[in-house]
Amino acid sequence: MSIMSLKDVHCGYGDGKEILSGISFDLDEPGFICIIGPNGVGKSTLIKLIDGIIKPSSGSIEIYGRPLQDYGLRELSQVVGYVPVMSSDFNVMSVLDTVLIGRFSRQKWRTTQKDISVAVKSLRAMEIEDLVDRNFNELSAGQRQKVSIARGLVQEPKILMLDEPTANLDIRHQLYVSAFLRRLSEKTGMTAFTVSHDLNLAAKYATKIIVLEKPGRIYAMGDPKDVITKQMIKDVYNVDCDIVDDHGTPHVILQGVLEE
Binding site residues, another protein, CB under 8 A: 14, 48, 51-53, 73-74, 76-77, 80-82, 84, 87-94, 96-97, 101-102, 104-105, 107, 111, 113, 116-117, 120-122, 124-125, 127, 132-133, 135, 138, 151, 153, 155, 161, 175-176, 179-180, 183-184, 187-188
Cβ closest to another protein, residue 114 vs residue 214: 114
Q: Which residues pair with 221 in a beta bridge?
A: 210
Distance in angstroms (rounded) separating the CA atoms of residues 166 and 181:
11
**Cα–Cα distance, 205 to 227 (Å, whole number):** 13
Q: Least distance (Å) from another protein to the CB of residue 6?
A: 18
Indicate the residue among 80 and 210 with the shorter CB distance to another protein: 80
Nearer to another protein, 92 or 258 (CB): 92
Between residues 64 and 176, which has the closer beta carbon with respect to another protein?
Answer: 176
Q: Residues of 95-110 as b/e, b for ≥16 C-beta within 10 angstroms? A: bbbbbbebbebbeeee
| Least gap, CB of 10 to another protein (angstroms) | 17
Q: Name the minimum Å distance from CB 133 to another protein.
A: 7
From the CB of 233, what's the least distance to another protein, in Å? 24
- C-beta of 3 vs 159, nearer to another protein: 159
* Angstrom distance (rounded) from CA 208 to CA 205: 9
Sheet containing 18-27, strands listed edge to edge, beginning at the edge strand earlier in sequence: 18-27, 4-12, 58-63, 66-67
Number of H helices and number of E strands within the chain? 9, 12
15 CB contacts (<8 Å, ≥6 apart)?
Answer: none
**Distance between CA atoms of residues 162 and 169, nearest Å:** 14
Query: What is the spatial distance between Cα 238 and Cα 245, in angstroms, rounded to a whole number?
Result: 22
Least Å distance, CB 240 to another protein, is: 29
**Between 149 and 212, CB nearer to another protein:** 149
CA torsion sign, 209 to 25 to 40 to 148?
Answer: negative
Give the nearest distance from C-beta 14 to another protein in angstroms. 5
